[in-house]
Chains A and B, each alone.
Chain A
């Protein structure tokens, strides 16, 4: 990736239409985006050298949950930012008392604006910021 490239977002969701919609929203919002249909495909992409600045992870996926996938990825890249999307955010928050820095949750159904604001908040700290190339050392 060159220093001028916009951030790369890896979208991981087993529901193809939702994945494709997120890809389009991100691309039209100025981000680079790649997709994986599940955790195992995401692991393979990362092993092949894909270096995302942020992962959007569905929590409820059949082969491996979004949180388990992220836990394994964080073992190698602990500061990788994560946006979990879920239709069960209340159930999730009842089971979990802490949200770590660098992660956020977005409840389904979300709007185009809602997704872009959540991604911008994680990437830049502000909801109205346009995509910026990641600073050196910001992502690993």
Chain B
């Protein structure tokens, strides 16, 4: 059994944020896949997806800063 270092408060918050982002990214991608190309809601979903992916990248930067 490995012994993991105790999580810091910051890393715990990032871990929880990652879980939320995971849900936003995953479900928005599933919705885009189900949305017909001519559905005007598709563009809205694509915006959510883009923002979520940008947030993923920012989360990576933030996580690297607190390492």
Q: Check A112–B3 contact: CB distance below 8 A.
A: no
Residues of B within 8 A of A87 (CB): 14-16, 18-19, 22
Residues of A within 8 A of B22 (CB): 18, 21, 87, 108-110
Q: Contact residue range for chain A?
A: 20 to 34
Q: Contact residue range for chain B?
A: 20 to 34
Q: For residue A90, which residue of chain B has the nearest CB?
A: B67
Q: For residue A92, which residue of chain B has the nearest CB?
A: B4
Q: Check A24–B19 contact: CB distance below 8 A.
A: no
Q: Which DSSP category, helix, strand, loop or mixed, fits chain B's interface? A: helix
Residues of A within 8 A of B33 (CB): 28, 112
A135 within 8 A of B: no
A71 within 8 A of B: yes
Q: Which DSSP category, helix, strand, loop or mixed, fits chain A's interface? A: helix
CA distance A91 to B33 in the complex (A): 33
A103 within 8 A of B: no
Q: Check B1–A68 contact: CB distance below 8 A.
A: yes
Residues of A within 8 A of B5 (CB): 91, 94-95
Cβ contacts A59-92/B at 8 Å (1 or 0 each): 0100000011001000000000000000110111
Q: For residue B55, which residue of chain A has the nearest CB?
A: A109
Cβ contacts A11-50/B at 8 Å (1 or 0 each): 0000101100110110010000000000000000000000
**Which residues of chain B from 37 to 52 have a CB within 8 Å of any chain A CB?**
52
Of B11, B16, B26, which is within 8 A of A112 by CB?
B26
**Distance (whole angstroms) from the CB of B1 to the closest CB of chain A:** 7
Residues of B within 8 A of A21 (CB): 22-23, 26-27, 30
Given contact pairs A25-B30, A88-B7, A111-B25, enumerate 5 new A-B contacts (beta carbons under 8 Å): A17-B27, A68-B1, A87-B15, A94-B5, A112-B26
